Amino acid sequence: MHPASIFIVDDHPLVRHGLHQLINGEPGLSVCGDAGSASEAMKLIPSPLPDLAIIDLSLPDSHGLKLIQRLLSRYPELSILVSSMHDENLFAERALKVGAKGYINKAATGDEVIAAINQILSGKNYLSAQLVEHLALQNTGNSLQSEQSEQSEQSEQSEQSRIKQLSNRELEVFEFIGRGLSTSEIAKKLNLSIKTIESHRANIKKKLGLTSSGELARSAMQWSLESI
């Protein structure tokens, strides 16, 4: 039997090199190519399709969630595992909703990465034990909350729960703000108008309860430092 083929998308050469060594050292698995950006991934993904693509969320020319959507619109049969330093409590559900089969944090061990790959190759989804527990507790909390009175509905939301209200595009803009990009730079990166980015910024401020651009920048930068 031929080894299962893996395609890697990550903007850090050292990470790609490490995954190459890890995967090629595992019987039954083989790296068939890699890319350092979303545009490279769309051009370089081989034919026939790999059995699995491992995709980072933080890419220089596009958010990984957007790349997943583009890949799956063209190759709906492609299996995707997200590997990222982003908080899995915030991003894993989003990744699954756009079509990824699993999510693993870059802090995971090599054995965990191989286990995630093999689980997806076997036809199952992969989530870490910690995230499964988090989702179970969240569902329990939601169930209890629905039975509570108006007093519980008026309780203050945590910063993370407010950030979860952001759409994928708003979260992408929020991340770029956290990296220090200006409105015009974000517009250029996302191929959107400055007016559209300004609208996203206004929506983000409203959802996060922020009153100024300075507060938005500080919040985004703090979140970026803590979650990436």
Extents of the domains making up the chain: 4-129, 146-227
Task: Give pLDDT, residue 149.
Answer: 38
May I ask the CATH architecture of the domain 4-129? Answer: 3-Layer(aba) Sandwich (3.40)
Domain 146-227 carries which CATH code? 1.10.10.10
Task: Give pLDDT, residue 151.
Answer: 37
Task: Give pLDDT, residue 138.
Answer: 63
Reading the chain (228 residues) residue by residue, the pLDDT tens digits are 789 999 999 999 999 999 999 999 999 999 999 999 999 999 999 999 999 999 999 898 888 999 999 999 999 999 999 998 877 777 888 899 999 999 999 989 999 999 999 999 999 999 887 777 766 666 655 544 444 434 334 334 466 678 888 998 999 899 889 888 899 999 998 889 999 999 999 999 999 999 898 899 988 888 776 664
Task: Give pLDDT, residue 141.
Answer: 54
Left if phi > 0, otherwise alpha if psi is -120 to 50, otherwise beta: which for 189?
A: alpha
